[in-house]
Structure 1
Amino acid sequence: MKLNWKLTASAVAMAVSSGLHADVLPTHQAESAWFTDAQSKIEQKLEVNNKFKAKNVILFVGDGMGVSTLTAARILKGQNAGELGEEGYLTFEEFPHSALVKTYNVDAQTPDSAGTMTAMMSGLKTDVGVIGVDEDIERGNCATVAGNEVVTALELAEIKGLSTGVISTARITHATPAATYAKSADRNWEDVSDMPEDAITAGCTDIADQLVNFESNLEARFSGIDVDGIEVVMGGGRRHFLPKDEAFNSADAVSSVEGDRTDDRDLTSEWQQMYENGVYVIDQAGFDAIDTETTERVFGLFNESHMQYEADRANDIAGEPSVAEMTEKAINILDNNDKGFFLMVESGRIDHGHHAGSAYNALTDTLAFEAAVKAAYENTNPEETLILVTADHSHVFTIAGYPKRGNPILGKVVNVGSDEPATAADDMPYTTLGYTNGLGHQNLGTETDADAVYAYDANTGRVDLTNIDTTASGYHQEALIPLGSETHAGEDISLHATGPGSQLVQGVVEQNVVFHLINQALDLVEE
């Protein structure tokens, strides 16, 4: 005989008031793993009792890491571990607090990284393509920079006496890392050779120059302050710091002439002369040799341009540290300061994988980024460190069709109740993951460098995938609209947080609120 356990609303209310409400649940519901797991999540949240003030703040930015990227990456993570995949979480998705973030720029519905990161670093929104300045700037016009500069969270942390660090798997002069320290009318002014002559004549300096001279520039802007400069800088982009002369090539140079600078300056040498106790490294061996207890500061430039995709890192000539290794090393240097630290970590190549139409590379780099967040959490005190994990924008990356549970996320759609790939109205199979625009399909086999696709013309539209392994590292998903590269998207992205002040991460917020969360935790701006 089946138990009739349904009760009227009044009966439920009476049962609750008498403490008997648990009895209304049938055993199969109360003991379901779905039910008990969900209840445990609520109980964990009830136990969170954060302070509001932090000693340290770490801001993680997964460039281009939209919600669909998170979903696909978490499934891939589970499937790589031999599980179905959908039931798992990325480490930071289990942080107790989260919010949705609106990413538009002042002049653009779909944003770029320069405007979005400036918002997160300064507390106000600005235009596409400009760095460290407000919306009154005219992109590309050097004369409009003066008077429109904003002060960033990293600069304020320096002024307060905290240690600071910037890490990126992209060029360290690229938009996201540059927005922590530079002021530029154009994100593309990474070195002097990228600048128009009138901008140079007018006195604007390139982004690489601003990084090396960060300390003196900041002290010049604010009278009476004394800062000691950024303690940890790690990323790619060596070419922007070296003169255009093969005599200055690094040991692992890929180009015949590695440097791009046309002013004959070697900024890596200038940095070493400026900071005699600093350590300049270009490879895995140099990185591994760093003693975090005695090293005062580090300048690591591990590639001529961007660092390798995670899937391609083993192919680097001189070896590159992972983003997790860089994060742990940075924390162990920065936490030597008893006052605390501010660290920004960007996984820039998630974005590049998407631009190349390679879900494999974008997701693989997302999982490497997750490992960096985990390393940060495990190497800091959760009672004194606020960790924020977010993105700058999303991509036109979709998860579609009706694949059954556990279907390979990089594979072809197999419907519920079937063992064979589903076919579309054109009688051809299709993948779960795809892009709205970009270069479209390429089958490059075991290629691990997503950027190899740029050697081919756009190949958009449908392709017969029957005999193609869509899970291979060199597979590039189909796209609808032909473009030279896939584009950003404009929907909200997520923000995940743990530690002091993280309880303020809730609801739907503007992107510039991220700065105010950092400021609230560290008291960077005195009222």
Structure 2
Amino acid sequence: MSVKKKFTATVAAGAIFSGGFIGLTSEKSPISITAEETQEEKVGVDKKSPENVIVMVGDGLGVGQMEIARLLESGKSGDLFMESLENVGLMRTYSADNAVTDSGAAGTALATGEKTYNGGIGVDSEGQETDSILDLYQDQGKKVGVISTNTVTDATPAAYTASVADRDGQDEIARQMLEHQYDVLLGGGADYFSPESQDGTDLVEEFQSSGYEVVDNESSLEDAETPEKLLGLFNDSYMSYKTDRDELNSEEPTLEAMTQKGLDVLSQDDDGFFLMVEGARIDHAAHAADATGVWQETMEFDRTVEQVVNWAEDRDDTMVVVLADHETMGMSATEPMDIEGLKDIEVSPEYMAQQLATDEETGTFSVESVKQVFQEYANIDLTDQEVDQFLTKIEDNDGEVYAAYRVGWEIGSVIADHYKVGALDTDIRAESGTGGHTGNMVPVFATGAGSEDFEGVMDNTDIIELIANSAKDNNGKGPENSNGKGKDKGKGPNK
């Protein structure tokens, strides 16, 4: 963020941060405040307070997406690993100006504890810059990083690393990332670091000159070992869907590989670290009502959760929080859902859209092309009437055909309808400023040091407080969330 030193704190029984109360309860607290000896006596000290915090965001991941992934992966008696974490809650996600949030406002609430308007990044509802918990960790000399399967400059990672009035300013977000020298930045978005986006400046070269090792594919990430600072840009735009990587001969690393490298780099510092890991394309698949893509992206995210929890399980200094920023498309596993039919689909609706051929006379896709793509990739035989209905939905008000990802939304909705997947219809999505997000509560899972308070119903602005105020106070009682729910900490994984 451009202005980083607005955080002021006083110690009595706690500190004021972003307009909310955060008690200081540990000599290893993420927010370290110098206090007089008499003041320190008023603060309960607990060395179990997390030295390392790993926040894992499944973008757009609601309980419906989880259920679809579980059923397609292992059937009705199967489990996702994240479901095994001992602390479980539900979270409300509304933004400052809407009952339904976008990812910018949602990420900002998670990262800073502030509600903002849809589209805002790292600013409050008045547009004023606000610090994120990542910044507070960095200010205390701890290593910090963000990892995403989207562009590394998109809404969720940007909310932890930048302040812009509009999330579309990804070129400015990239500049702020360089300015603040975050230790690990891994994801897509190379275009935003290029001379074409940066008024002739090659931002990647600037990162290299600042001491970063720069990688751009799976093998170079593996060869990077453990540099002090690491920038990885693995796609010009967002990283490829899991379903498409074989077709594209992709050399992009998995989310697991990026996360393992991030842990290797950040854990070199004995002072601790903060890491945000985003499984971003769950949301993108859900926008297209693409149950197959939701399955594949959610399972990669779940495997990464297991990897991180296994990394942390022998430590008493690490908290892992797994949550979503919002839910997308109201997805659900219906009774007639054709699980086997969905499992047979091997590419994303966006990939299918890119295979459509344009009819020179009409300026839209040819009927034959539409039929061929649906039959080849989705095992669906469309009628002429169904093709006509599809073609009316892929043009804007000026008669121009949408970009491939938006055409993919309509392809995915046709597939979802055919295979009986529960999801918002296309008319509701078209009227939605967020492209189909909902106000549904989303799950929160937590484990490790200080995680016991992640229980009950909470608000997205509670998350930063629950992390920063995670140790016991002198009465053995944890902080309350916004609904007044606190938890006796006499029981839990660190008892």
Match of 1:388 in 2: 321
**In 2, distance between residues paired with 1:166 and 1:56?**
14
**Contact preservation (8 Å) 2:188, 2:233:** yes
**In 2, distance between residues paired with 1:61 and 1:457?**
22
Match of 1:70 in 2: 66
Query: Shift of the alpha carbon at 1:512?
Result: 0.8
**Contact preservation (8 Å) 2:69, 2:299:** yes
**In 2, distance between residues paired with 1:340 and 1:457?**
41
The answer as to 2:434 corresponding to 1:502 is: no
Amino acid at match of 1:362: V
**In 2, distance between residues paired with 1:408 and 1:365?**
18
**Contact preservation (8 Å) 1:236, 1:301:** yes
Amino acid at match of 1:274: S
Give per-residue Cα distances to partners, 1:391-421, cap 9 Å, x unaligned: 00001233354349x9648489xxxxxxxxx
Match of 2:200 in 1: 264
The answer as to 2:197 corresponding to 1:184 is: no
Match of 2:261 in 1: 329
Match of 1:238 in 2: 190
Amino acid at match of 1:379: W
Query: Shift of the alpha carbon at 1:128?
Result: 0.8
Corresponding residue to 2:425 among 463, 479, 494: 479
Give per-residue Cα distances to partners, 1:460-509, cap 9 Å, x unaligned: 998998xx7x59xxx99893527559511111001000001111011101
**Contact preservation (8 Å) 1:113, 1:176:** yes
**In 1, distance between residues paired with 2:246 and 2:412?**
31
**In 2, distance between residues paired with 1:401 and 1:282?**
40
**In 2, distance between residues paired with 1:118 and 1:164?**
17
Query: Shift of the alpha carbon at 1:181?
Result: 0.9
Report how many aligned residue pairs link the two structures.
371
**In 1, distance between residues paired with 2:206 and 2:238?**
22
Query: Shift of the alpha carbon at 1:329?
Result: 1.1
**Contact preservation (8 Å) 2:329, 2:429:** no
**In 1, distance between residues paired with 2:409 and 2:309?**
43
Match of 1:208 in 2: 174
Match of 2:465 in 1: 516
**Contact preservation (8 Å) 2:122, 2:159:** yes
**Contact preservation (8 Å) 1:92, 1:389:** yes
Unaligned segments of structure 2, at least 5 residues: 1-45, 345-372, 379-402, 473-495
Corresponding residue to 1:399 among 332, 342, 352: 332
The answer as to 2:314 corresponding to 1:357 is: no
**Contact preservation (8 Å) 1:242, 1:265:** yes
Structure showing greater Rg: 1
Please list, as runs of the form range in 1=range in 2, the aligned pairs for 1:297-446 lying within 5 A after superposition.
297-316=229-248, 319-380=251-312, 381-399=314-332, 401-403=334-336, 408=340, 410=342, 443=374, 445-446=376-377
Match of 2:219 in 1: 285
SS in 2 for 1:54: coil
Give per-residue Cα distances to partners, 1:348-385, cap 9 Å, x unaligned: 11111111231111221010011111111122234221
Amino acid at match of 1:285: S
Give per-residue Cα distances to partners, 1:80-122, cap 9 Å, x unaligned: xxxxx22222111100001100000011101001111111111
**In 2, distance between residues paired with 1:464 and 1:269?**
44
Match of 1:201 in 2: none
Unaligned segments of structure 1, at least 5 residues: 1-49, 79-84, 138-147, 192-205, 215-228, 245-259, 413-441
**In 2, distance between residues paired with 1:458 and 1:301?**
29
Query: Shift of the alpha carbon at 1:446?
Result: 3.5
The alignment's TM-score, normalised by the length of structure 2, stands at 0.69
Query: Shift of the alpha carbon at 1:179?
Result: 0.4
Match of 1:98 in 2: 88
Backbone CA RMSD of aligned residues: 3.0
The alignment's TM-score, normalised by the length of structure 1, stands at 0.65
Corresponding residue to 1:123 among 107, 110, 113: 113
Identity %: 33
SS in 2 for 1:187: coil
Match of 1:14 in 2: none
The answer as to 2:100 corresponding to 1:110 is: yes
